[in-house]
Structure 1
């Protein structure tokens, strides 16, 4: 993943701005000759060291950044991204409120809508706001990072930092919602409790024997949230950096069933699932992990479908990604991709994306990480 410095020279901004403005005019019907707009941008840069995107440029830039996201398999829908322009907001209270509204609008009663909310950009005078949380919705992890006993181990450092900062903690369940951590302009990071009405959660049950009252999985209390909204990446458009720009698509089932719930350094549920299914877990050669992994992923897809919440499966999304490649090639645009992210974490060779090579090329506009993004997501230096 590209790491982007937060400061650029005027010459660097102008070069990136010229490239983007020409791309915008080339791809936007009726935009006309870009020379007038380029002259205005150059004048604005000379005066202030930066420039302001028009609303239309912001929308197109955010969508093209999704189109350019090498690690995303769901880019077929890039042109449907809803863009919420909140560039006038710089203080943490207002940003947090809009993040929660983002979740409500994106959830859309279960018919999840790809959405981005763009807050104030970096300027030569002041860095823009930051969202420390890795995603708008995260679950707490209680205990030492190397021996988390309850919750999501990935979020144990952030949970510990928030507890030191005064967060009273949740109910102590494996799925306690963490507060959102926001740092406004000229402000320290602050935490904000996530309103319950902003988060739709799906109870996870297995399809075999699910008669509506549960099948034995229900007593585990497994669930997952409906909207994967990444919040600690920077949107870069034409040399302008928007460090707080949370965005979401919808989940692919394997993100939850093969990673979040299954990874040994997350919820590590495969041993429990294997025992629940009566599998021989004494040796890896029995392939009990593989069987448990498939059943856990079946449960995730079944549960989201049962709750009428948007989710994709990895076979369908793989075919759609190839459709995206074909469409882009017809338009004369190259598509970069990171093979290790595009190929699903289960049944990779059974999907068509496995049997290709891709160029992992970075182009702009893009979603990138600023230095220290991972440290902030883990709550380092929060207290």
Structure 2
């Protein structure tokens, strides 16, 4: 999946520990010095206390103009930004800065294997939207735009940022589309256990839970700190689902499995130049292993391997028969086949691994590093058969911005 949440289980050392944090663009210098081309600041004590870090704002402005040299006068823009921060505590991105920052945040996502496409991200500038009702409607429109009749488009919808004294609305749901999970009272689950907590919270707010294995959860939006979230049913035309079939085994359809087309992450904050956008849902398209090897296979998710193995009549008496591996491959074959037959964009782990190395090579030619977390980049099926397995990656600097970061609690 682009903007992937895929993670293998192989523990690896963290290479970032060997590197001291620093500006990814090489900006900055000893204390008291002014970086060449940087506007001098008026002492902040004369103005409004900064809500937005002026250093982060300056670094972003310089990065924007360094990568887009035709964008205008960087010294003048930096001076404007710093003056606005001094007067108001923060500043406002131009539409071009917002689009650039969102795309670079994707480029900086160390856990994403699909970054070759970062320039193609469709950026929806919705900073004027702040009410829960409007935000929910725009999230549904996001899904329609991204679905695109099955030809999935990478999209981000950026809503109002946090302002001094005015935290912006948050999307409580971790993804715009998610399946509910219901404990069965005997230690098991109906549906997706990962959706259990959100289903319970939505039910407490008045949502009527279903009884199925693939009930789509409502979208939960919290407009203000201290208020209860509001829930919104997803319109039918906003959510495309794919019934799963196998290219060889007709019985596979009897399992009744399905999955949705657009993986839209909605619980992370987009940070650009010191400004935080807490509601900025974004999506790419799925890599098949995320569904076939994680969502449907993990023991704490749908846990389908034993059932698939039973239909395949595999010997499950011992792990040494590799029945789990064989069932896993057939489950992944079904996912890839079904999305292709439905005309819904999906990539496989071999193709995406090759494309990721292409991305690394392109970035290297431009003089940029490509930070990557090995444990997330290597796919959870046949990892050793992919080229991303057999190499090291640049250290991950947690201070790198723009970036998608864990949301700060209210």
- Judge same fold: TM > 0.5, yes or no: yes
Cα 1:145–1:347 shift into 2, 3 Å: farther
Match of 2:352 in 1: 317
Contact 1:91 1:185 in 2 (8 A): no
SS in structure 2 of the partner of residue 217 of structure 1: helix
Q: Is the 8 A contact 1:140 1:175 kept in 2?
A: yes
Secondary structure of the corresponding residue to residue 207 of structure 2: coil
Whole-Å Cα distance in 1 between the matches of residues 93 and 122 of structure 2?
A: 17
Pair 1:108-2:141 in alignment: no
Secondary structure in structure 2 of the residue aligned to 1:46: helix
The DSSP-based 3-state class of the residue aligned with 1:353 is coil
1:21 aligns with one of 43, 55, 61: 61
Shift of the alpha carbon at 1:10? 2.2
What are the residue-to-residue correspondences of 1:87-98 with 2, within 5 Å?
87-98=127-138
Identify which of 55, 64, 69 aligns with 2:109.
69
Q: Cα distance, 1:12 vs. partner?
A: 6.0
The question of 1:224 aligning with 2:259 is answered yes
**Equivalent residue number for residue 176 of structure 2:** 136
Structure 1 pair 167–124 and aligned structure 2 pair: CA distance change class (3 A): same
User: By how many angstroms is 1:144 displaced?
Assistant: 6.0
Query: Residue 301 of structure 1: CA displacement?
Result: 0.2
SS at match of 2:177: coil
* 1:365 equivalent among 402, 405, 409: 402
> 1:207 Cα deviation (Å)?
0.8
Deviation at residue 318 of structure 1 after TM alignment:
0.3
Q: Is the 8 A contact 1:148 1:156 kept in 2?
A: no
Q: Is the partner of 1:150 in helix, strand or coil?
A: strand
Secondary structure of the corresponding residue to residue 332 of structure 2: helix
Distance in 2 between the 1:106 and 1:346 partners? 27
Residue aligning to 1:177: 216
- Number of the residue aligned with 1:329: 364
Residue 275 of structure 2 aligns with which residue? 240
Deviations 1:169-201 (A, max 9, x none): 12x111000000001146431110111110000
Q: Deviations over 1:59-114 (max 9, x none)?
A: 00000000000000000000000000100011100000000000000000000000
Offset from partner CA, 1:233-266 (integer Å, 9 cap, x none): 0000000000000000000000000000000000
Matched, 1:276 2:311: yes
Equivalent residue, structure 1, for 2:387: 352
Report deviation, 1:135.
0.3
Partner of 2:9: none
Matched with 1:48 is: 88
Distance 1:44 1:174 in 2: 52
The equivalent of 1:295 in structure 2 is 330
Deviations 1:273-322 (A, max 9, x none): 11111111111110000011111000000000000100000000000000
Distance 1:246 1:26 in 2: 27
Runs of 4+ in 1 over 4 A off after TM superposition: none
Structure 1, unaligned runs of 5 or more? 2-8, 210-214, 374-383
Shift of 1:146: 8.7
Question: What's the CA shift for 1:155?
Answer: 1.1
Residue 221 of structure 1, CA deviation: 1.5
TM-score normalised over the length of structure 2: 0.85
Instruction: Tell me, yes or no, if the aligned pair for 1:252 and 1:312 is still in contact at 8 Å.
Output: yes
SS at match of 1:191: strand
Count of aligned pairs: 361
CA distance in 1, matches of 2:408, 2:309: 40
User: How many Å separate the matches in 1 of 2:375 and 2:352?
Assistant: 15
- Is 1:85 the counterpart of 2:125 in the alignment? yes
8 Å CA contact 2:52–2:85 kept in 1: the answer is no
Q: Which residue number in structure 2 is paired with residue 380 of structure 1?
A: none
Q: Distance in 1 between matches of 2:409 and 2:385?
A: 37
In 2, the alpha carbon distance for the partners of 1:302 and 1:145 equals 35
